[in-house]
Structure 1
Amino acid sequence: MQSEYDMSVISRIRRFVNSTTEVVPGVFQITHRGANVLLIAEDTLTLIDTCLKDGAPQVLEFIRYIGRSPEEISLIVLTHNHIDHMGGLAEIKKHTNAKVAAHKDDIGIREHPPAAGGRYREPLAQIKSKLQSVFSVLPEDVDIILEGGETLNCLGGLDVIHTPGHTPGSISLYSQKHKMLFSGDLIRKRRKKLLLPPKMVCSDIDENLESIKKISHYDIEILCFGHGLPLHQDVKSRILDLINRDEV
């Protein structure tokens, strides 16, 4: 008969098996309520996004599960200022002295109302108003203010690409070493099909499409999303297909 301790360990392992993916060696995707956190485990630890506040304990527990300590987190990079991507920031910061990096256009602001016309304008404005009460504002005391064009010191160099549209300060992060892009919510995936994010949660959907065109020039073999499993096959052709479909 298994002890209570054994069952607890088995339960934890099962939970992590169901909610984590090792994208490439040393890069883990942790999923909480559908939103992804990327953990880069090198000499120090780097987090990309922090999920919701109630997901922070899961992130911290996984770090301990792989034999590391939250105190080893040296950098937290936020792809944009929506609560499902940065809601756990304050809780995770309690356990580390990590510096926080975010784009200047998402610091201290909320996202803009959706562009809508005709009979949909008022209903969408009401929905947006309710959603804004859930979204948090990035703190003014972000340690590293990004503009795009920087290279972060992890994965042999992680390039910061300003990809506005979902929010004014949305960023994507490109690893040339692994030919891997962390796209935040720039692109969403439904099964194997790539799609634009919903218009009502974007500051500018046309700008979002222009940002997708920008990242299409990179040599990408692995595409990681803010929601959903990474894409490892036919990445470039699927990005181009998305652009061609939405330009028509």
Structure 2
Amino acid sequence: MSRCNILEIEFEYSGQKQTIAPVLLQNEYDIILIDCGYPNFISHLEEAASKYDIALDSLTKLIVTHHDMDHIGSLAALKRAYPHIDIIAHELEAPYIEGKKKSLRLEQAESTLNGLPEEAKPHAEQFIRFLQSVEPVPVDRTVSNNERLPWCSGIDIVHTPGHMPGHISLYLPANKTLIAGDVVVIERGKLNIANPQFTLDMGEAVLSVQRLLDYDIDQIICYHGGLFHGDVKQALRQLIHEYTF
């Protein structure tokens, strides 16, 4: 049986306190990191992993849920520091992670810039420069929907588009746990759609939440919010209801 360790990382961003929750999967053969935070987050990851007596140089693989900068910001730096780590992402996300296509978040930010009031433009331009600074990195293996990866007692790839077209969540059948990425977040103790104003296709995002009901989930871990406490299926149904009616 593999262990599922939540790395709760608290930090300040744009003057506000934030928390993200990358996940470390661990068994006797592999240590797999799911998402890796903003740029320059290696020290945060090291500190959080050390609480489980895990050193980053023992990582074997890194699975990316999607190419937003808070999920891949330290990816290139980690690959440089530990080149043996295999980078894994959905086949639709790989071109953006590798820099072969422009980041969809960058395209979105650039397309809305001219419509902003003048006082908001400096902050938006700073955000665009930040997105442009994220380094590309080669993807070692691409995955697709319903694929089962054999590591850590089995990892099922769940394609959950909407937030991004190639967004994936990961289902661990051995302990009935879903690593959600940004398909849902926890806000004030409730599940919600991640950043609706930034979600590229809200209809697809709601359908992705609906798709999660096909899985026997006892626990759900959100990148923004950590471990959800409550009845997962009931919370998912309530969220779908809120966005459908």
Q: 1:218 matched to which residue of 2? A: 215
1:57 aligns with 2:43: yes
Count of equivalent residues: 222
1:199 aligns with 2:196: yes
1:157 aligns with 2:143: no
Q: 2:129 matched to which residue of 1? A: 133
Aligned to 1:122, which of 89, 112, 115?
Answer: 115
Question: Kindly tell me: are residues 226 and 164 of structure 1, through their superposed partners in 2, closer, same or farther at Cα, counting changes over 3 Å?
Answer: same
Preserved contact between residue 81 and residue 138 of structure 1 (Cα < 8 Å): no
Q: 2:85 matched to which residue of 1? A: 98
Question: Kindly tell me: are residues 233 and 65 of structure 1, through their superposed partners in 2, closer, same or farther at Cα, counting changes over 3 Å?
Answer: closer
Mapping for residues 1-248 of structure 1, pairs under 5 Å: 26-32=3-9, 33=11, 34-43=19-28, 44-96=30-82, 97-106=84-93, 107-108=95-96, 109-111=102-104, 113=108, 122-123=115-116, 131-135=127-131, 139=136, 141-248=138-245
Deviation by residue 1:98-135 (Cα, 9 ceiling, x = unmatched): 10001122232412538x99xxx923996877644333
Q: 1:14 matched to which residue of 2? A: none
Preserved contact between residue 221 and residue 232 of structure 1 (Cα < 8 Å): no
Query: 1:201 offset after TM fit, Å?
Result: 1.3
Question: What is the alpha-carbon distance in structure 2 between the residues aligned to residue 188 and residue 62 of structure 1?
Answer: 20
Question: Kindly tell me: are residues 238 and 65 of structure 1, through their superposed partners in 2, closer, same or farther at Cα, counting changes over 3 Å?
Answer: closer
Question: What is the alpha-carbon distance in structure 1 between the residues aligned to residue 242 and residue 59 of structure 2?
Answer: 40
| Structure 1 unpaired stretches of 5+ | 1-23
Amino acid in structure 2 at the alignment position of 1:122: G
Amino acid in structure 2 at the alignment position of 1:198: N
Q: Look up the SS of the partner of 2:70 in the other structure.
A: helix
Amino acid in structure 2 at the alignment position of 1:235: V
Moved more, 151-160 or 71-80: 151-160
TM-score normalized with structure 2 length: 0.80
Question: What is the alpha-carbon distance in structure 2 between the residues aligned to residue 68 and residue 198 of structure 1?
Answer: 32
Identity %, equivalent residues: 25
Query: 1:64 offset after TM fit, Å?
Result: 4.3
Q: 1:21 matched to which residue of 2? A: none
Amino acid in structure 2 at the alignment position of 1:28: N
Amino acid in structure 2 at the alignment position of 1:100: I
Query: 1:27 offset after TM fit, Å?
Result: 1.8
Question: What is the alpha-carbon distance in structure 2 between the residues aligned to residue 207 and residue 128 of structure 1?
Answer: 26
Question: What is the alpha-carbon distance in structure 1 between the residues aligned to residue 61 and residue 90 of structure 2?
Answer: 14
Query: 1:66 offset after TM fit, Å?
Result: 3.5
Question: What is the alpha-carbon distance in structure 2 between the residues aligned to residue 71 and residue 192 of structure 1?
Answer: 35
Amino acid in structure 1 at the alignment position of 2:20: A
Query: 1:229 offset after TM fit, Å?
Result: 2.5
Question: What is the alpha-carbon distance in structure 1 between the residues aligned to residue 25 and residue 143 of structure 2?
Answer: 19
